[in-house]
Every structure is written in C-alpha cells, then in structure tokens.
Amino acid sequence: MRKGQYRFVAGFLFVPVALYLIFVIWPYIQTFGYSLTDWKGQSQTFKFVGLDNYRALFHDDVFLKAIWHNIQFLVFIPVVTILLGLFFAFMVNAGGRSRAGGVSGVAGSKFYKIVYFFPQVLSLAIVAVLFNAVYRSDGGGMLNGLLIKLGLVDAENPVEWLNEPGFVRWALILVVVWHGVGFYLVLFSAAMQSIPRDIYEAALIDGASRTQSFFRITLPLLWDAVQTAWVYLGIVAMDMFVLVASMTQNMGAYGGGPDHASDVMSTVMMRNFLYFGKSGYACAMGVVMLLLTLVLSVVTLRATRRDRIEF
Amino acid sequence: MGSTSADNHGSEGVGRRDLIKRSAALGLVTVPTMSFLAACASGGGGDESNDNTSKGKATKDNPFGAEKGSKLDVVVFKGGYGDDYAKAWEADFGKKLGVTSTHTGTQEITGKLQPRFNAGNPPDIVDDSGAQQIKVDVLNKNGQLLDLAEVLDAPSVDDPSKKVRDTLIAGTLDPGTFEGKVVALNYIYTVWGLWYSGKLFKEKGWEEPKTWADFLAVCQDAKKQGIGGLAHQGKYPYYINVAIMDMIAKKGGLDAMKAIDNLDPKAFVGSDAAQAGVEAIYEVVEKGLLMPGTNGLTHTESQTRWNQYKAAFITCGSWLENEQLKTTPTDFDMKFMPMPLLPDSKLPFEAIRAGAGEPFIIPTKAKNLPAAKEFMRRMLSKEWSTLFAKEANSLTILKDGVDPSVRLRPGTQSTVEASKAAGDNTFRYMYVDWYSEMGAALEAASNELMAKRIQPKEWLKRAQAAVDKQAKDPASKKNHRD
C-alpha cells in the first residue's frame, strides 16, 4: 500500500470503532464488573462478592434448565427452518415439471414467494399477539375452536396449549419457524438463481431425478447461504425473549411457565435483574450467555466449513 | 484510488460472502446479549446534590413552601386505574398553587425510571406500581426514597388541627414502612375476594355463598346450566394464589398467615390450615368446576368471559370494576364478596384481605421536593380523594374519603360495604412485598395445582421448600411481624 494509506483508512474507521467500543465493548466490561458484586440495580451502591454469583449460578435449577431450553431451540429452530426454506425454495425455483429445454418452479411460484414472505414483515410483538389467539386456551382460540367444531376436543376440556410443559417449547418453535421460513425461502431462492441453469440441464439429460439434483447440485452450491442462515437462526434461538415473555404462563414476571418449562436464559436473567432485584447475579448470567454464544459461533463456523466450489 | 481498486480483485481480498459470514458471526455474539447487557450498564454519575431545589415561602395553605411557577415531574402507573385521576389532580395543583406538572402515564415504570434513578435524575413523585414496578424494598435499600414522616405529620388539608397521618385508615401505612420509616404511601385501599354478577345470581336464584360447601353448590349448579363455576386469570397465577393464601388465612387465622410471612419451618407442611386451604381450592379443579380453559387465559380474556356470563365467580382485587369498565354490560350489577368459609375457621366470613396498594414515592433526589410533598399532602384531602374515586372507581386510604354526594358504581359500592362489614377483620400478607422470589415460586406451584399436574400434598411441599429457601437468605432476618 502506498504511504499514508493506513492513516486514510484509520480516519474512516475511527468513528465506527469508537462507537463500537463505547456502546458494545464498554457495557460488556461493565457487566463483568457488576457480575462480581451484589448490585441491586437501583443505585450505584454495592459490595464486591467475588465469584459468589457464578458459584450460585451452577446451583440455580431454573437457569440450568433455561440453558437446556436454549439448546433445544438451537437445534430445532435452524434445522426445521432451513429444511423447510430449502424445500420451498427448491420447489419455487426448480421443482416444476421437467419440460423439454428448461428447469422452472412449480406453477404460481412467484405468488408463493410473496405470500411466504408476509410473516417476515410483521414485528415479533404482533406475531405473539396473533399466536396467542391461535393457542388461546378456551373455545375462543383458533386451534381449540377448530378442534371443538370437529369434535376432536371436548368443549369442557379445551387444550391449554401453552400451559403444557411438554408442548410449550414446540409451540414456540412453530411460531419462530412460521415467522422465519419466508425470509430463508427468499435468501435461498436468490442463491439458487445464481446457480447456472446448464448444470441442472446437464443433470436432467443424464437422467437425474428431482431429489438427486437437489442433493447433488443445489445443496452443495448453496452451502454458503445455508451457513449464513444457520448463524442468523442461532441468534434467534439464543434470544427468544419476546415470544417467551409475551406468550407463556407468568412465573412472577417475563413468562417462562408452566413451571419454568419455557424459560430461556434471557427471561431468567431479566426476572432476576428487575423483578427479584438481583442485578449483580443477573449480570453473571449475562456473562455466561456471552461466553456460550461465543463458543457457539466459533463451533458453528468451524463445523460448517467446506471447500468453496467456484462456479 | 489505491486501495479500493487494487486489492479487491485478488483472491486474498475479503470477498462479499466472507464479509457477510464474519459480520453474521459477530452478530451472533452481540445481538442476543447486547440489549440485555445494555440494560446493565450504568448511566454513570449520579452524585450531584440537589441544593438547587425550588423553595418558595411557606404559608398555612402551603406548609412546605412549594414555589409558584416551579415545575413538578409526575410519573404515574397507567394500569387498571388509568391516569385521568392524576391529570385532574395536576390541573387542580396548577390552579391552586401555580405549579405546572409534567405528566407521564406509563406501564413501563422500571424501563423508564430505572435509568433515571441510576443517573441521580429521578422524577419528583412517582406512582410505582404494576407488573413492572421498581420494587420499593430495593429502592429503599439503596437510600433512594424520602422518609415521608414530614408529609404525614403536616396538618391535614381538611382539618388543620389534625395531622395527615391521623386521617388515614388504620394499618394502611404498614406496607410502605421499612425499618420503621414510611417511605411509600400506598394510596389506594384495595380489597381482595370473589366477584359475581348480581343480575346473573338473581336470574338463577343463587344466594351469595357464605360457606365453601355453598360455594361449591353454586358452582355445580352453574355447571349444570352450562356456565363455568370459578374463573381465574390463569396466565398470571398471582390471582389464584391470592385465593389459596386467603383460604389459608381465614381457616387458620392470623397465626397461619404470620407463620408464612415469618418463614416458619412449619408454615405449609405440618400446618392444618394450609392443607385445608389448598385442598379446598383443589376441590374446584377436581370436580371440574373451573371455567373451561381459564388456566391459560390472561386477565383481560378471563375477566371478559366472566362479563359475558361464562362463569359464576372470578377472583380479583377491587381494581376489577375499573379495569372492566368497557366490557361490563350496563345491567351486570357487579358484586364483591369475601372468600367463603371452611368449617371451623378462625376468622369470620366477613374477613377480607385488604390493604393499601399503589405505592406513591418521593425520591430523595427529586428536583422539586417542596412541591412534591405538598402534592402528596393534597392527595390525602377529601377533595382529591373524591376526585380519585370518581375517575378511578376505587377507594383511597383516607378515612371516609369520598364525598357522600358522589354516586359510586355497584362494584365499588359493594367493596365499601364489605370493608365496613369486615371492620377490623382484615388481613394482609407481607411476603409479597418482602420476598418476590418466594412469591414467584408459590405462584409457579399454584399454576401446576390448577392444571392438575400436582396434588395439594405436593403443593405444600413445594411451598415449604420456597419458604425454607428464603429463610436461608441472611437478608430475611430483618423482616419480622408479630
């Protein structure tokens, strides 16, 4: 590089880096500091307690349970969303009847693409309201109303969907998948469209079936997009705060019920931080969350690394 | 020129995909944690003193010397009671004293105020209530709250020969008293119990049940006619937990209640009253007398169903009428009643959980202390108390605080009668304010009980475990009631 170029680059970087340091890195450092205290959250008075908060964390059944729930979300949300997204994207782009001389999507694919994207433009708060109406625990709920009409559920005994410890997390996964799949359909579609048609046509001529062309051509050439999707969905799975707090049975504050069956790290942390006034302890949870997400992102990027195929 | 064009063509340059990947990885780290961590970060500072507080001349009508032309920063929880009453007060305050108020009505008390408390820049007077209140004990522990003795010892607006403190209903200052100091004025007098529609009861020929057996009989009759027996706000187990705890207190008397507040090792397991109380509520579940689906409904959903005559009873505090103003049919004839009695109960039928709620606080670091104190003094005048009853359909802690010429709504009227009938037979649990974590554990157990996933025996075990856990906390030694 030419002389003075670094200074030129640094000049441009100064503001964003400074902002990043002030608004991201500095709060992290502060949080770590608070996690070593018995801070109550309402003023600047606290005592230093060393690693007591971290020690207590390993005996906190609710928090340990919450970690497992996040892991469950982490496994199922990306897998289901990506598989569905890939399937729909494939059908929309290359799933149509093979006609002589070309590969195309199923009939009406343009329409589907738009319709599937609809949920993505709704904010999570609205999605929560919507699905509260779907899962409502009496005959006024969409699911219960339907099942009662069909005679599958007794009107005197409707299913309390979000009050079932074995079902509540799946109910939430369903909401996230419904909300997200349209975006990944569009993401994967864009990536698929950049795959040259000739490859598909060559495969067709060689007698490849739709399934074969998906697994042998589409998926390998889409790997980068899938990897990106995985990371984005990982973010969603590690958070889940909005849906849990606004849809599930209340455990004092911020949902998490029944009996902590839907609690995730973020709701447990907020409950301790604000409702129980155990803010120092909650900061320790925050630090653990940070470490877990860090490990996770490294693992994800390592595990999904593949040689890039140039085309 | 140089860098952009020269380097990007090479294979070692950062490709667009890599960039997306890397930034996404970074996002994975930052996004979920950041918003929460940001909440932890302090506002810094917060030590500047407020010597610049506005101070006018003290007169007989203005003993604290609120200065004309100064500004008062009022923040009010805008929940079941709305915030129209506060606006009416502020207008009157401006008219009489020339102090203009900035009004904030919100449900997000913590979100809006915690940063301000942390930064040493709190409002002048706050109604610190609702699900997102900042816990008063927490604020007090950090020395953020003004000792209200000065206001309470000031002359009453209605009768200057009396101190403000002597014009209040007995015991209503207790919940705001911490370590001997009154730091929060719990302004609204709330009673808890069961509610029913006078119209529905008349139609069906039901009587207000005095005993638990009669209560169950009404529920069973309702069930036969396709109406649910008991509704509760299941998504918030707080409500049904109140009913369970009240059954325990009425059965075992104040001793059973105090055992729980004082974290007795036999508060639940080994207490006959606790067992009888929880078994009574469980009978409703077991006999299928709950309104279908009520366990999963929010407070609005279940209360609206009850307004639609889908259940005979609902559990709630006296904010119910105001909260349901819009959905209550005009001829509904809302009625309040105490929890029905189990055989051999220590307290009479009329006994109710009653007490002051909606803590109003004055931060020590308020910018306009004289005006804040004067505002609070006027809140305890008959004029403002009546304004409150009119706008918010609820009573205040001021004795005979409502102008008799004001006609109250039927539900509010029935709470007035119930609290008169109860007389000194009122009770109130303190653990709710003292131990939020134990309270949450009790609510979680009650939710399981209502869903029939645990039996009363298991509920008692869990409740006792929550008590024992709390008793281990050294901070709990400071609280005790006799």
Domain extents in chain A: 54-303
Cβ contacts of B48 within 8 Å, gap of 6 or more: B120
- In this structure, the answer to whether residues B311 and B255 fall within a common structural domain is yes
Please report which confidence band the pLDDT of residue B347 belongs to, taking 50, 70 and 90 as the band edges.
very high
Would you say B214 and B340 are in contact if contact means Cβ atoms under 8 Å apart? Answer: yes
Cα(A279)–Cα(A276) distance, rounded to whole angstroms? 8
The predicted structure's pLDDT at residue A36: 92
Once rounded to an integer, what is the mean pLDDT over residues B220-237?
Answer: 95
Higher pLDDT, B26 or A23: A23
Under CATH, which number does the domain A54-303 receive? Answer: 1.10.3720.10
The predicted structure's pLDDT at residue B131: 74
- In this structure, the answer to whether residues B126 and B161 fall within a common structural domain is yes
Would you say A229 and A85 are in contact if contact means Cβ atoms under 8 Å apart? Answer: yes
Q: Look up the ipTM and state it.
A: 0.86
- In this structure, the answer to whether residues B86 and B148 fall within a common structural domain is yes
At which residue do the structure tokens 């984005």 appear?
A232
Among the listed residues B352, B480, B349, B479, the one whose alpha carbon sits nearest the alpha carbon of residue B428: B352
Higher pLDDT, B17 or B414: B414
Would you say B41 and B114 are in contact if contact means Cβ atoms under 8 Å apart? Answer: no
The predicted structure's pLDDT at residue A102: 56
The tokens for A149 are 């009409």
> How is residue B399 annotated by DSSP?
T
Cα(B122)–Cα(B46) distance, rounded to whole angstroms? 10
Once rounded to an integer, what is the mean pLDDT over residues B414-424?
Answer: 86
- In this structure, the answer to whether residues B317 and B396 fall within a common structural domain is no
Higher pLDDT, B391 or A172: A172
- In this structure, the answer to whether residues B158 and B212 fall within a common structural domain is no
The predicted structure's pLDDT at residue B9: 38
Q: Is the pLDDT at B14 greater than 70, yes or no?
A: no
Identity of the residue in B39, B117, B288 whose CB atom sits nearest the CB atom of A42? B117
Q: Is the pLDDT at B134 greater than 90, yes or no?
A: no
Instruction: Output the CA–CA distances (angstroms, integers) from residue B440 to A50, A164, B239, in the order listed.
Output: 27, 19, 12
Is residue B115 assigned to a domain? Answer: yes
- In this structure, the answer to whether residues B342 and B452 fall within a common structural domain is yes
The DSSP result for A281-311, as a single string, is HHHHHHHHHHHHHHHHHHHHHHHT--PPPP-
Is residue B43 assigned to a domain? Answer: no
The predicted structure's pLDDT at residue A309: 67
Q: Write out the H or E segment, with its range, that includes residue A220.
A: helix A219-221
Which CATH number fits the domain that encloses residue B334?
3.40.190.10
Is residue B466 assigned to a domain? Answer: yes
Backbone region of residue B120 per phi and psi (left: phi > 0; alpha: psi in -120 to 50; beta: other values): left
Cα(B131)–Cα(A270) distance, rounded to whole angstroms? 13
Is residue B446 assigned to a domain? Answer: yes
Among the listed residues B443, B438, B440, the one whose alpha carbon sits nearest the alpha carbon of residue B466: B438
The predicted structure's pLDDT at residue B21: 47
- In this structure, the answer to whether residues B138 and B224 fall within a common structural domain is no
* pLDDT in 10s for each residue of chain A, 311 residues: 566 788 888 888 888 889 999 999 999 999 999 999 888 876 677 888 888 899 999 999 999 999 999 999 999 999 999 999 998 888 888 766 655 445 667 777 778 888 888 888 888 999 999 999 999 999 899 999 999 999 998 888 899 999 999 999 999 999 999 999 999 998 998 888 888 888 888 888 888 887 888 888 888 888 888 888 988 898 889 889 999 999 999 998 899 989 999 999 999 999 998 888 888 999 999 999 999 988 888 888 787 777 666 66
A44/B37 touch (CB, cutoff 8 Å), yes or no:
no
The predicted structure's pLDDT at residue B137: 80
Is residue B109 assigned to a domain? Answer: yes
Cα(B231)–Cα(B222) distance, rounded to whole angstroms? 12
The predicted structure's pLDDT at residue B481: 83
Name which of A48-62, B44-58, B116-130 the model is least confident about: B44-58
Considering only alpha carbons, which residue of chain B is nearest residue A163?
A: B296
Q: Is the pLDDT at B39 greater than 70, yes or no?
A: no
B40/A1 touch (CB, cutoff 8 Å), yes or no:
no
Is residue B62 assigned to a domain? Answer: no
Condensed to tens digits (0 to 9), the pLDDT of residues B243-284 reads: 999 999 999 999 999 999 999 999 999 999 999 999 999 999
**Structural domain of residue B370, as residue ranges?**
71-182+362-403
Would you say A89 and A188 are in contact if contact means Cβ atoms under 8 Å apart? Answer: yes
The predicted structure's pLDDT at residue B218: 96
Distance from CA of A148 to the nearest CA of B (A): 12
Taking only residues 22 to 41 of chain A, the set having a beta carbon closer than 8 angstroms to any beta carbon of chain B reads 23-24, 26-28, 30-31, 34, 40-41
Is B175 in a helix, a strand, or coil?
helix
The predicted structure's pLDDT at residue B445: 96
B237/A141 touch (CB, cutoff 8 Å), yes or no:
no
The predicted structure's pLDDT at residue A196: 85
Cα(B166)–Cα(B163) distance, rounded to whole angstroms? 5
N-to-C CA span, chain A: 31
Condensed to tens digits (0 to 9), the pLDDT of residues B294-343 reads: 999 999 999 999 999 999 999 999 889 988 989 999 999 999 999 999 99
The reply to whether B84 touches chain A by the CB within 8 Å rule is: no
Backbone region of residue B358 per phi and psi (left: phi > 0; alpha: psi in -120 to 50; beta: other values): left
B chain contacts of residue A52, beta-carbon cutoff 8 Å? none
Cα(A249)–Cα(A263) distance, rounded to whole angstroms? 10
B1 HSE (CA, 13 A, CB side): 2
Identity of the residue in B29, B36, B46 whose CB atom sits nearest the CB atom of A297? B29
Once rounded to an integer, what is the mean pLDDT over residues B460-474?
Answer: 93
Once rounded to an integer, what is the mean pLDDT over residues B219-224?
Answer: 95
The reply to whether A162 touches chain B by the CB within 8 Å rule is: yes
The predicted structure's pLDDT at residue B55: 65
Please report which confidence band the pLDDT of residue B46 belongs to, taking 50, 70 and 90 as the band edges.
very low
A275/B440 touch (CB, cutoff 8 Å), yes or no:
yes
- In this structure, the answer to whether residues B243 and B309 fall within a common structural domain is yes
- In this structure, the answer to whether residues B343 and B385 fall within a common structural domain is no
- In this structure, the answer to whether residues B231 and B283 fall within a common structural domain is yes
Higher pLDDT, B125 or B59: B125
Cα(A268)–Cα(A271) distance, rounded to whole angstroms? 5
Backbone region of residue B185 per phi and psi (left: phi > 0; alpha: psi in -120 to 50; beta: other values): beta
The tokens for B38 are 């940001």
The reply to whether A211 touches chain B by the CB within 8 Å rule is: no
Q: What percent of chain B has pLDDT over 90?
A: 61
